[in-house]
Structure 1
Amino acid sequence: MGGQPESVVRRLRDGMAGGVLSFPLTSFHPDGSLDVEGFRTYVAGQLAAGPGALFPACGTGEFFSLAEDEYRQVVAVAVEEAGGRVPVVAGVGYGWAQAARFARVAEEAGADALLVLPHYLVAAPQDGLVAQLEQLAARTSLPLIAYQRGQVAYTAASLTRIARIPGVVGLKDGHSDLDRLQRLTLAAPDGFLFFNGAATAEIQARAYATVGVPAYSSAVHAFAPEIADAFFAALRGADHGAVDKLLRDFYVPLVELRDRVPGYAVSLVKAAARLRGRPVGPVRAPLTDPSPTDLADLKTLLAAGLDLVGASL
């Protein structure tokens, strides 16, 4: 746990090359309270599947709904369960002052690095986006990975500036604008980390790889690591037939189901994990759990996806 930025970057790079990045769900009891032991069991299962790194308390982990003490427990459990086997990158967000407070908690809990989620509500100019990272970097010793999504989108000139901020080591992209992303990768110094953070990253994984960003996070890993790992192996092995089949018969229908209701990018993932007996519980407001009709469609799709890779529900 912890360590110098160079060591963390090396471990992250090795992890990205060897497996998908896991963004674990946060477990809640039926009454909405934090289920620490359920989360511990769930994270142990995620780690057993061999991800390249663990990103607790991020978007999929409902960072936006966690109280500070709950966040502390979630990060601490992730660090304990990882036991140094993979890097643990905790989410932080809101404005830089709040992000710095969560960063202190994550550092005390033993996290290796931080994923800086998009700031809250307002649009901001490029100078402000750079300053946001400068302010946070000055207040933590942990390496930072910037996340561009929503109202955060860096220009190549800004990427050059943030890459010079001590401690900023990488960028997660959720915009899927490959023209912009190519410009960013060309502007970045050697060794700067990039990874695909689209909502269902496998859909665009081949396209991202063409601009030099082969690493990606996987929401599917949160509930069906067998499918996520099969896709990863097929993609890295250039088995285009297997990639196409998984995309056509599982990932594309999953995205179509996800797009039915706002927030399903998290809610469906959690529902699918529950279908497989994982102790993750419900989502918290403002998210809502899937309707009975959508849940039935999800169960059918999940069973079909698992059948594709020889696993069972």
Structure 2
Amino acid sequence: MDYIFKYIFPFIFLSLYNKTCTLSKHLPKKRLIAESEKRTCTMSNWNGGYDVLESVVQQQPSEKIIVVLAFTLAISVMSATMFNIVLPEIMVEFHLSLSQVSWVTSAYLLIFAVGTVIYGKLADTYKLKNLLTFGLAVFALGSIIGLSAHHYWVVLLGRIFQAVGSAVIPATAAIIPVRYFPQESRGRALGIVMTGGAIGTALGPAIAALVVSLVHWRFLFFMPLLILLTVPYYRKYLTDAPQGKGKMDWLGCGLLAGSAALLLLAITNTSWIQALGCLILLVLFTVRIHSIPEPFIKPNLFKSKRYSLGLTIAFLATGIGYSLPFLSHSC
């Protein structure tokens, strides 16, 4: 395609242009001037057309990468939701309580949420293709660990590694459309990516039910291994350079993750001491983000009513979705 745009089209145009010049020798002077101006205008327009064609060729990798990204996000979301329906089986197999088995999803989502922000910050310093290669490799490692799990702690370890790796996907899903698409087509690119996430949410429980009806629930860890097929595409088509050296607020990150972990532990163990520790860390985190120029989470975000409302709706929807297995009769 590039060859046609650069060589064939120019050859055809220049042939027509030379023919026009030959015919112009037999034209009156005034008409000759008009034809000359017309040719100049046509040449200018052709150059502009070539620029458009060139831009289309350059955007083709972006079109490919956005489809691959949508597939990657679908697999990532499926991995998060597939285990919901097998929590009762895991609970029975390892003789766990409801609060204990909930860590299969809670640990994943906690690390997934915090890791998404971390990868977003690291994208300012490191190349996206390197971050994705690292994240997807860790994601696959967690899947391999989970496939070989015969103890509950190994299942949790596999889910933790999966979360550490898969957190790179939503971070890059928000960055790639901004870096690789012009402003007028970013909405469409983001729509394609979010469609992949929605499809993953819808298909996750259905595919999990199908897999569990045929084989052991451990084979749910196999699905994310398909994501390794996307690594060569990211290595080939992501050509961006780091945007700059941003500062990472590791202390703020630790305070937020620690407060969330203590909250989950307080609920699991019914411990007021851990609940008090969660409150203390949350207060320290609030003080931290208001006292430094580049906090882990910018407090100005919460001043937007739309953002706060969207965050609340997402929190409630996710909570309802993940609580359904515990409300079913099989539990």
Q: TM-score under structure 1 normalisation?
A: 0.27
- Compare the two structures and name the one with the higher strand fraction: 1
- Compare the two structures and name the one with the higher helix fraction: 2
Per chain length, whose mean CA-contact separation is higher, i.e. which structure has more relative contact order (CA < 8 Å, sep 6+)? 2
Q: TM-score under structure 2 normalisation?
A: 0.26
Larger Rg: 2
